[in-house]
Amino acid sequence: MEVSILNEKINELTPGSTIINSNNNQDYGVIVNNLKDKLVIFRLDKNTYPVFSKINNHSYIRKTGNINEFKNDILKQALLKYISNNNLTKNEKKLLDELINYAFPLGIPQYRPEIELPERDQANMDLSSHLRIGKKLYLNTPSDSPYSFLNNNSVDVVDIKDNGIWIMKPDSNENNNYFLFYKNKSIPNFSGISRVVPLGEETKYLDTHIENYKNKNNDNQLPTTMIYNGEKVKVNPETRKIIFPIKYQNMEYDTTNCKFVNDKDTKM
């Protein structure tokens, strides 16, 4: 009887299966290979760093789904990024072959984080459940984005407003608070940002950073930095208008089309 149950479990835990430890709800990630008594898995450490490891195939392991489900899109994108950005050896390719074929049955797509995901895919990533003060996010932007200086950067959410969020770039020596405008709040996604990936790690001195932001924006007049015409500009988050330099004060940010337009063109 026990042998039959074990064989049934082995057959269930195939490459592409996502698994947890049912005893403590630890998320193990996705199976790369099932070696019967051992499982090779791929996971994100702290929801951030790609890790391959080998674990014992014990009785508490439970299948929760597969890597192709929308709820696992962050993990699947991390796998795509890993195989796209690393020069895999023959042994690595052989090890990953079954998982790759399962995750990408039509062939490995090009990893293009600068291209915005379809809104349906963005909605299924359930970013709204991660949007809270103190949460760390990883951002990608198109090359022509007014936020291009935030591309490939991790940031922390320090405030949430009706029209967007204030974030902090921890390693910046400048004014390190920036406002991201919602493009579609119901999804949610952000204007000028192609990808947003929630991270699990925490920033040192986060409470201090949040307090510093509150002190700077105690009157809700803090401008955000963006790029227009190749220059850094200061923008009022409430009006979306450039307030500095003066020569651009007739320009305002169009969140739908992700670009600055003459404010006269937006009046009916």
Instruction: Tell me the average pLDDT of the chain.
Output: 89
pLDDT tens, position by position, 93-146: 999 999 999 999 989 888 888 998 888 878 877 889 889 999 999 999 999 999
pLDDT reported for residue 215 = 93
pLDDT reported for residue 174 = 58
CB 52 within 8 A of CB 92: no
Q: Distance (Å, rounded) from C-alpha 240 to C-alpha 242?
A: 7
Lowest average pLDDT, out of 61-65, 69-73, 187-191, goes to: 69-73
* pLDDT of 261 strictly over 60: yes
Domain positions in the chain: 2-103, 119-266
